[in-house]
Amino acid sequence: MNHLTRPTIFIAGDSTASTYPENRAPQAGWGQVLNHFFTDDIKIVNEAASGRSSKSFIKEERLNMIAKKIKEKDYLFIQFGHNDAKKDERYTEPFTDFKYYLNQFIDVALNIGAIPLLITPVQRRSFDLNGNFEETHGDYPEAVIQVGKERNVSVIDLAERSKRYFEKLGYKESKKIFLWLDQGNHSNYPDGVQDNTHFCLDGAIEISRLIVEGIRELHFPIEKYIYD
């Protein structure tokens, strides 16, 4: 395929999807490693940015930057929710503001003839004292699903998929896919780190795998570019 005409996947999201520099390794976002699952016949542009909500991503003109580059038959993957719940200037109410901003992402894609894909927010590593998984995203996943139905836009319910995956791993084993490092274990984190939101490289790959499974189930045209 001519690389000038190959389709592009643009990713709009937060820190769970972001690309990280070497001095943050082994931290990685799922958008950083999504290309592991695709042939070179498709291009991936990861515009996800740490700390952003659907609102702040737009206010900072990041969606406008995507709008200038996205073309017909490209894809726009949209995953927010983590920071939309923060009670600061990034906050959006799930069933009003949040849905309003998600619709702006969809409009950018549809207006150019690209294909939007909504993705519910990936879960945090959240278990109670008895080892039972606890939902921490409130109504945001449901709001994403509602927008998908209202706009006839495909949704990958990553919140549900990652919940099942983390429950299968359990309290202890799930640490291995998150950014959990003992003191002295890695030069970038000499004091160690215990992060239940962000992923190590292996974890980011596993989350990307869940998204790729969703793409196959949706029978998106880009599934032909997924490695067998």
What pLDDT, on the 0 to 100 scale, is given for residue 223?
Answer: 96
| pTM over the 0.95 mark | yes
Percent of the chain having pLDDT more than 70? 98
Domain borders along the chain are 8-225
23-80 pLDDT, tens digit per residue, is 999 999 999 999 999 999 999 999 999 999 999 999 999 999 999 999 999 999 999 9
Q: Which superfamily does 8-225 belong to?
A: SGNH hydrolase (3.40.50.1110)
- Binned at pLDDT 50, 70 and 90, residue 5 comes out as confident
Percent of the chain having pLDDT more than 90? 96
115-161 pLDDT, tens digit per residue, is 999 999 999 999 999 999 999 999 999 999 999 999 999 999 999 99
Strand 75-79: give its sheet, edge to edge: 43-46, 8-13, 75-79, 115-119, 154-156
- Is residue 1 over pLDDT 80? no
Distance between CA 203 and CA 208 in Å, rounded?
9
